[in-house]
Chain A
Amino acid sequence: MTQEPVLEIKDIVKRYGDIQALGPVGISVREGEFLTLLGPSGCGKTTTLHIIAGLTEPTEGTVSMKGRDITALEPPQRDMGLVFQNYALFPHKSIFDNVAFGLRMRRVPKPVIKERVDRVLDLVGLPDVGSRYPSELSGGQRQRVAVARAVVIEPSILLLDEPLSNLDAVLRKRMRLDLREIQQRLGITTIFVTHDQDEAFEMSDRVILMNNGGIEQSGPPEEMYDKPESQFAAEFIGEANLVEARVVAIEPGALKVKVAEAIFTAPAGKMAVSEGDLVTVMVRPERIEVSKTPVNGGNTLQGKVTGRVFSGDQIALTMQVAEGLEILCSKPSTAHYRDLRLGDPVWISADDCWVLPRAGVKTEGAK
């Protein structure tokens, strides 16, 4: 069932003087989805969020919500709730007054304010803190108050600018689940910005990966993980073995590529390739099969164990399969894999592999 997107930004460009920091970028956001803008610092994700929020004016392009062009509107006039990176709770106001602030500005009658604030505080799991002050709350609690404050005005979209960056690792993990839960309970369309890939994957319905002011790839987390469309995407998300290869044959739905001295079969994907093209083959470390017993057929290479790191539940093995070519493999530390020691000759199978354009090139048609 197709719906009109809740939010759409088209041909957005942001220039500072002569420097083009962002664009052209276009994004369509569906009702109720949890969308994350993911990327390294400076990739433009925060600028994009600010443009959506109205905190920054785009040099070119339009922002529309439910069909209406809101590019010229200021943040208070857009139907959006914002959660800032440091939460920006008013230190001199009680939690209740903090959350009620937006409603007061909209001249909502007092009894209604009370009812809605109580309800939303309940929703974020802080039913009794109304009379307390921000300084008395923990980081995680303040986070939730910030969300409550943004959400109580019942906006169409919730925007979060790296809200978890200031929390310690343990708290971060917990807050991820909490935030996702709150979002699902409310059913509110959410746009989230982070540089943490795990975070993006755990929480989102869809991830937009950005780099150097542009969109690298966009899609559900699983798709992003299994089928990256560029070297950057493959490396930013999880670990990847990236090996140069040459296309030797094109078959319906599959490609045959030459990797080192072997021929691999890989799924065709969306790339447009011709015979003889240079491409990159990607295999996720956990999808490599290793054994001491010889294997025939499939995507196999022979090699020697050159590195071994044991970290409790995992074992990471580095294997040299050709001159200057090392493959990283990570497996659960069962007896079978623990048995592989430094120097052992091994056979590697990479049946579950994927082909990317060679370094520096993106797959055409990325959206």
Chain B
Amino acid sequence: MTVDTAPSGSSFHAARRSKFARQLLMGVTVTAIYAFLLTPILIIILSSFNTTSANTFPTDGVSLQWYREFLESPSFISAFQFSAWLGIVAAVGATIIGFLTAYGIVRYMGSYREVAQSIAMLPIMVPHILISISLLILLTVVPIPELAGLIIGHIIICLPFTVAGILASLDGVDPQLERAAWTLGASRMRILWEIVIPLIAPGLFSSLIFAFIISFGDVYIALFLSGPGMTTLPIEIFSYMQWESTPVIAAITTVQIIMIFGLGLIIERMVGLRQIMRI
């Protein structure tokens, strides 16, 4: 083993060169991976403008016919509307329940916090089809409307994310504030409503949006629980794809991507994506 000495001229430059080489290698690798990640998405967006009905790429010419077909198709439009409505309901449900749970964990669990958090994360560890099938079976036994089953299924898969996200927001709230409000005579509900919720508003809103995105994009829960009159957009696309395959799907998908892109930007503005990636 050699002793470290002050770098001489040439070895210093060698170190600089190797650092540059390292960074170059890293840069190239990362760019390649990003390319892998994003290319299929780009392809979809581009082929939505195909002039022919083939799923070819690259295309020759640009056409909006597939968008028109999407907008004129009653089944796709109603599926889109249903997915949006379902997404809002599931998001609101998951956010409310997630907030109550997260608040309970943060203020009442003390040293059991990690355990409680792990329990809240349970649905992540269960394959979605299992959740879905089990709910389906429950519906045959218990007289709950199918729509409720679908909503509950979506709430279940969204909960781990809303709980984690709101937990992170709540960590930034000084418990002393709640204590001060309490000593001034505020009831627990009032403390939640007037002190806690306003202070985590951005986090709540982001959880809402994130849950909406999860619900909108879900396939497996809807796979077993959707039915006539209650088809989500992904399921509608899935069915369509099993018989036909035209770029109208690319058009729908592109619309979906844009919508999610917009929502994601809002989240980024509100709390930054770092928070969500820390789940």
Q: CA–CA, A271 to B179, complex, Å?
A: 45
Contact with B along A82-118 (1 / 0, CB 8 A): 1011101011100000000110011000000000000
Q: Which residues of B sit under 8 angstroms from A355, Cβ to Cβ?
A: none
User: Does A149 lie at the interface of the complex (its beta carbon under 8 Å from any beta carbon of B)?
Assistant: yes
Contact of B176 among A84, A92, A153 (CB under 8 A): A84
Interface centre among B182, B184, B186, B199 (most CB of A within 10 A): B184
Q: CA–CA, A82 to B184, complex, Å?
A: 8
Contact size class for A? 10 to 19
Q: CA–CA, A76 to B187, complex, Å?
A: 9
Check B198–A101 contact: CB distance below 8 A.
Answer: no
Q: CA–CA, A46 to B44, complex, Å?
A: 65
Q: CA–CA, A106 to B180, complex, Å?
A: 15
Q: CA–CA, A92 to B174, complex, Å?
A: 13
User: Does A75 lie at the interface of the complex (its beta carbon under 8 Å from any beta carbon of B)?
Assistant: yes
Contact A149-B176, Cβ < 8 Å, known A90-B195, A91-B199, A92-B199: no
Q: How far is the CB of B200 from chain A (nearest CB, A)?
A: 10
Q: Which residues of A sit under 8 angstroms from B198, Cβ to Cβ?
A: 92
A62-84 with Cβ < 8 A to chain B:
75-76, 80, 82, 84
Check A105–B180 contact: CB distance below 8 A.
Answer: no
Check A101–B184 contact: CB distance below 8 A.
Answer: yes
Contact of B179 among A84, A101, A106 (CB under 8 A): A84
Contact size class for B? 10 to 19
B148-185 with Cβ < 8 A to chain A:
174, 176-177, 179-185
Q: Which residues of A sit under 8 angstroms from B199, Cβ to Cβ?
A: 91-92
Contact of B182 among A75, A90, A91, A92 (CB under 8 A): A75
Q: How far is the CB of B4 from chain A (nearest CB, A)?
A: 44
Q: CA–CA, A194 to B208, complex, Å?
A: 45
Check B176–A106 contact: CB distance below 8 A.
Answer: no
User: Does A53 lie at the interface of the complex (its beta carbon under 8 Å from any beta carbon of B)?
Assistant: yes
Interface centre among B174, B185, B186 (most CB of A within 10 A): B185
The secondary structure that dominates the B interface is helix
Check B177–A102 contact: CB distance below 8 A.
Answer: no
Contact with A along B40-81 (1 / 0, CB 8 A): 000000000000000000000000000000000000000000
Q: Which residues of A sit under 8 angstroms from B176, Cβ to Cβ?
A: 84-86, 88
Q: Which residues of A sit under 8 angstroms from B184, Cβ to Cβ?
A: 76, 101-102, 105, 149, 153
A33-67 with Cβ < 8 A to chain B:
53, 55
Contact of B185 among A53, A85, A106 (CB under 8 A): A106
Q: Which residues of B sit under 8 angstroms from A149, Cβ to Cβ?
A: 184
Q: Which residues of B sit under 8 angstroms from A75, Cβ to Cβ?
A: 182-183
Interface centre among B182, B183, B185, B186 (most CB of A within 10 A): B183
Check B183–A76 contact: CB distance below 8 A.
Answer: yes
Contact of B177 among A88, A105, A106 (CB under 8 A): A88
Q: Which residues of B sit under 8 angstroms from A76, Cβ to Cβ?
A: 182-186
Q: Which residues of B sit under 8 angstroms from A86, Cβ to Cβ?
A: 174, 176
Contact with B along A309-320 (1 / 0, CB 8 A): 000000000000
Check A105–B185 contact: CB distance below 8 A.
Answer: yes
With both beta carbons as reference points, the residue of chain A lying nearest to B190 in the complex is identified as A105
Q: CA–CA, A86 to B174, complex, Å?
A: 10
Q: Which residues of A sit under 8 angstroms from B179, Cβ to Cβ?
A: 55, 84, 88
Contact of B180 among A88, A92, A153 (CB under 8 A): A88
Q: CA–CA, A106 to B185, complex, Å?
A: 7
Q: How far is the CB of A310 from chain B (nearest CB, A)?
A: 45
Q: Which residues of B sit under 8 angstroms from A88, Cβ to Cβ?
A: 174, 176-177, 179-180
Query: 30 interchain pairs (CB within 8 A)?
Result: A53-B183, A55-B183, A75-B182, A75-B183, A76-B182, A76-B183, A76-B185, A80-B183, A82-B183, A84-B176, A84-B179, A84-B180, A85-B176, A86-B174, A86-B176, A88-B177, A88-B179, A88-B180, A90-B177, A90-B195, A92-B198, A92-B199, A101-B181, A101-B184, A101-B186, A102-B185, A105-B184, A105-B185, A105-B186, A106-B185
CB-based closest 7 A-B pairs? A105-B185, A88-B180, A102-B184, A76-B185, A75-B183, A88-B176, A82-B183
